[in-house]
Amino acid sequence: MGSILVFGASGQLGQCLAHVARERNMTNLVFLPEAQANILDNNGLQAVFAEHHPTHAINCAAYTAVDKAEDEVDIARKVNRDGVANLSKLCAQHNTILIHISTDFVFAGTGNQPLVETDETAPISVYGLTKLEGEQVIPEFTDRYFVLRTSWLYSEYAGNFVKTMLKLGRERDELRVIWDQLGTPTYAIDLAGCILSIIAGGNEQFGTYHYSNEGVTSWYDFATTIFELSQTTVKTTPIRTAEYPTKATRPAYSVMDKTKAKTQLGVTIPHWQESLRVCISRLAAAEA
């Protein structure tokens, strides 16, 4: 198999891809530093594609500062839409399959049934809007792509909710956590495994897919489970979203249906509590 380019390699998912690639002895992934592979730098991208002739390009690069995006619309759009357009054009030119990571934030989150890929998108934040624009620009240039929408990513790597809760749980006696936003945590190691399985299996069932762990929870129940599994003693108080105002509005319900991913990509998806237990164990082992 030819080379696989990873853009956004220094981020959480990029680091998880490196972790899983090591476990699976996949040596053909090229983890590109941003200085060499900024998705807004067309000349740099062209040089990278010409050098590596990739079979696949995995785009983990994104503007993900949800609240800051409300004030930095142009920057968010450049990264989340224009950068994706740049990659899509080059993938088409080099017959490279694009694997692009998107988000549950493309939905309004006003329903109460698990979201399928064909449900109406209606983002309620600048971040969600620009990520949707990124999804929409891909088929303008290539039909050889996978879009994977995911949610509530965490892992042992980079900053995320699990690591923040563990830190705050050690520092404070009480935490107030939102209970009226429902979704599914996703262990980024599992998502990385899904991506590499698509590639290793030669899958060409192109299109848009949902991938999160199984099950449903609130941020409050997610936090209390983190504390239970890590044996962290801290009082947790459930609060409504209105009691914790943020610049950007979050979807109230973003549980995604993964039937399409399981049937067409052939992936097995663990329950979120099972994967959280693995992550907590690995974090504890790293601290020992």
| Domain 4-159+186-215+254-271: homologous superfamily in CATH | NAD(P)-binding Rossmann-like Domain (3.40.50.720)
Alpha carbon distance 288, 284 (integer Å): 6
Question: pTM of the entire structure?
Answer: 0.97
In the block, residue with structure tokens 């694009």: 98
Note the pLDDT of residue 169. Answer: 97
pLDDT in the model for residue 287: 87
Q: pLDDT tens digit string along 31-72? A: 988 888 899 999 999 999 999 999 999 999 999 999 999 999
Backbone angles phi, psi at 266, to 5 degrees: 70, 30
d(CA 134, CA 84): 6
For residue 99, give both structure tokens.
């694997």
Confirm whether 220 is a catalytic residue: no
**Crossing angle (nearest 10°) for helices 42-52 and 83-94:** 30
Each residue's pLDDT tens digit, 12-26: 999 999 999 999 999
Domain boundaries, the chain: 4-159+186-215+254-271
Residue closest to 139 by CA, chosen among 77, 85, 188, 214: 85
Q: Please provide residue 59's backbone torsions phi and psi, each rounded to the nearest 5 degrees.
A: -100, 100
pLDDT score for 36: 83
Residue 35: the pLDDT is 81
Q: Which residues of the chain have pLDDT under 50?
A: none
Of residues 63, 127, 157, 209, which has the active-site annotation?
127
